[in-house]
Amino acid sequence: MMCPSVGSGSADLYSRDSVVRALNLAEQLLTRRHGASVTLADPEDLGGSKRSVVLRARVATNPFGLPRALVIKHYQRSPTPGRADRFRYEAASCQLFTALPGECRPSPELVAHDPENRLLVLEDLGRSSTLADKLFGSDASAAERCLLNWAHALGRLHAVTAGRENDFGALLRRLGERSWRDPIADEARTAFAGLPELLESRLDVRVSAAAVQEATATARLLGGTRYRAFSPSDTCPDNNLVTSKGVRFVDFEWGCFRDVMLDAAYTRVPFPACESSFALPAGLPEAMLAAWRSEVVAVWPDLDDPVRVAARLLDAQLLWVWVCTLLLLPKGLSEDSLIGDDVTRSPKALLALAHYWNRLGKDATSAGRHATVELADAIVHALGKRLGEGSPVELPLYPAFRHSTRK
């Protein structure tokens, strides 16, 4: 589920008809809900996708004390037969959060929804910047604060949704979705089965049976562990709003319940489900993990044990690196994009993989997972040859940190 980072654009992203239809459907929904006319105006694109139109609209006629502006998300395409309906997942997620007390809510409030027309009307959190704005900006201190706030917010999200998986399932069934699962589960199992052959055929790296065993053992994170909570799954930097009340999550098309360590591992494999992965300064991943743990230990006291956390975190890191390698290696060996204006001009996918495996090898060394260490060394060496002699095996820092004096 490698999801490209989505940025905001102009209203020209959509056809005029699609914008008008989204506004009209939202007006009709709000009018039915309140019993008198509601008029929306001045639509502003918030950066949707091929699946959906996402707009901010001013409430021009407002006899009910509605907010001055609302966000409208209209799914334009019907779901692919046999696949999960992303509208249903997002609607169920927003319903789950809206039922929480306001001070605990990690997302915009759901004002209204229309399953028949696949429409969501949401609270407008204002013209907030995103985590991406901070990471790709020039203020290192602001970027660091936002990452720590993001880690705290993620921990609170996990803590407040722990034990609510049955509620989420009931909401999905009410919307017509009979089953649900972590979208990374199938990709992980595909990676366990297919990566050894891919590495041997494309990089001439043979994966030992012991390395496969160490990787497949991490599949326990994909099952019914006792550390399950809601995950947005797609927590790319653009999907995290920096508000006056802290970081708020948006976009729950891939929302699910899963082991919380799969999200906590983002501190070691920065935003692995996104194409905007860069490195974090030394010490910051550990600070982010500490911020996350400070929020979840009230629910899972045993996660205050550094040894337990380190072992489970390495499992999640190992799983993510295998998944990322299966998805990124073919891209990196064919039509790989370059990293912006970075002076190395190294292929991004291969450089990201070299970075992931290099870090994994170091962390696996301290944990005594020798087969993973040997595999990591072989892959980093093979990728280094592909990148060219003298090329780095470390990703550049996010732009905000590149000229920082942070130690």
89 and 160, same structural domain?
Answer: no
Assigned token pair, 376: 């990591």
Percentage of the chain beyond pLDDT 90 is 68
213 and 120, same structural domain?
Answer: no
In a domain, 107, yes or no: yes
Top pLDDT among 276 and 222 is at 222
pLDDT bucket at 2, cuts 50 / 70 / 90: very low
298 and 257, same structural domain?
Answer: yes
Q: Among 124, 146, 172, where does a domain finish? A: 124
Helix, strand, or coil (residue 281): coil
120 and 181, same structural domain?
Answer: no
Mean pLDDT value across residues 139-147: 97
Mean pLDDT value across residues 102-120: 93
pLDDT of 8 above 50: no
In a domain, 6, yes or no: no
pLDDT of residue 1: 41
User: Domain with 253 in it: what CATH number?
Assistant: 3.90.1200.10
pLDDT of 3 above 90: no
255 and 200, same structural domain?
Answer: yes
Which residues neighbour 402 within 8 Å (Cβ) at sequence distance 6 or greater? 396
Mean pLDDT value across residues 367-394: 90
pLDDT of residue 7: 33
In a domain, 407, yes or no: no
pLDDT tens-place string over residues 41-58: 999 988 767 778 999 999
| Integer CA distances (angstroms), 66 to 60, 94, 213, 245, 252, in order | 10, 18, 56, 21, 24
52 and 68, same structural domain?
Answer: yes
pLDDT of residue 347: 64
Mean pLDDT value across residues 159-171: 96
pLDDT bucket at 11, cuts 50 / 70 / 90: very low
In a domain, 64, yes or no: yes
Cβ neighbours around 268 below 10 Å, total: 23
pLDDT of 282 above 90: yes
| Integer CA distances (angstroms), 292 to 144, 288, 301, in order | 14, 6, 13
Least confident interval from 31-45, 112-126, 352-366: 31-45
pLDDT of 346 above 70: no
Q: Is the dihedral of CA 192, 195, 197, 199 positive or negative?
A: negative
170 and 113, same structural domain?
Answer: no
Give the structural domain span for 341.
Answer: 130-401
55 and 84, same structural domain?
Answer: yes
In a domain, 247, yes or no: yes
Assigned token pair, 399: 């732009």
Cβ neighbours around 15 below 10 Å, total: 10
- Domain count for the chain: 2
134 and 111, same structural domain?
Answer: no
Q: Specify burial of residue 100 (Cβ count, 10 A radius: 0-12, 13-18, 19+).
A: middle
In a domain, 3, yes or no: no
In the block, which residue shows the tokens 């790709």? 136
337 and 206, same structural domain?
Answer: yes
108 and 142, same structural domain?
Answer: no
User: Domain with 86 in it: what CATH number?
Assistant: 3.30.200.20
In a domain, 35, yes or no: yes
In a domain, 320, yes or no: yes
177 and 40, same structural domain?
Answer: no
pLDDT bucket at 5, cuts 50 / 70 / 90: very low
Q: Among 96, 124, 152, where does a domain finish? A: 124
Q: What is the mean pLDDT of the chain?
A: 89
Range among 61-75, 311-325, 343-357 with highest mean pLDDT value: 311-325
Cβ neighbours around 20 below 10 Å, total: 12
Q: Among 103, 124, 145, where does a domain finish? A: 124
pLDDT of residue 46: 86
pLDDT bucket at 79, cuts 50 / 70 / 90: confident
